[in-house]
A = this chain, B = another copy of it.
């Protein structure tokens, strides 16, 4: 390993403003939702947008995203995935800014309501979204596509559910992720065959009079190779 000259700089090169923007998904037992925010600064103040911020020099990109999420939702330790970076020269009308896109999956019931009100945020059905500023609409499209792809390979949908959930709820979740309908018998069979959820003695009675058994997600699942690829083949 060579020693680095401590006076070396790359200073002849141009620096660029870097932002981080995050699509926040939630699930309300019916439809997949996204949390949108009214922009608080000029330009385009008051328009709907993703939550975002400029990246500071002393924060890693992922820590920047985590900090935004903490500030806007009150949540830490949530599922977070980097998408790609948006870098068109004129994507921001004010100045050149590149933006690293993320999406995160949160449990809607854990969301801090105060935060939401402070930030003038609102949940939207992903099919009923308003116009978003800049290229945030593309970011959301990409986020949904990436989430759909990943959810086929890995059991990440569980990050949207409370600790205890019923199989009909789980089905409804995957149906709203992929915007399709499934046969309940086949869905149940498939999910149980994966050995990734565990039945409890508890019943949820909010959905029906009969009540449905609650399950929990097994955390230390060891998926077989095949299953890792084709978890839910929507």
Contact = CB atoms under 8 A, between A and B. Distances in A.
B5 A42 contact: yes
A60 interface: yes
A87 B62 CA distance: 7
Interface in A40-86: 42-44, 54-62, 64, 82-86
Given A54-B10, A60-B87, A85-B85, A98 B43 contact: no
Interface string A84-97: 11111100011111
A56 B14 contact: yes
Given A8-B43, A82-B85, A16 B18 contact: yes
B57 A8 contact: no
A188 interface: no
Contact of A42 (B8, B62, B83, B88): B8
Given A5-B42, A60-B89, A82-B84, A95 B18 contact: no
Given A2-B44, A87-B62, A233-B229, A10 B17 contact: yes
Interface string A7-19: 0111101111110
A35 B61 CA distance: 28
Contacts of A8: 42-43, 94
A134 to B, nearest CB: 12
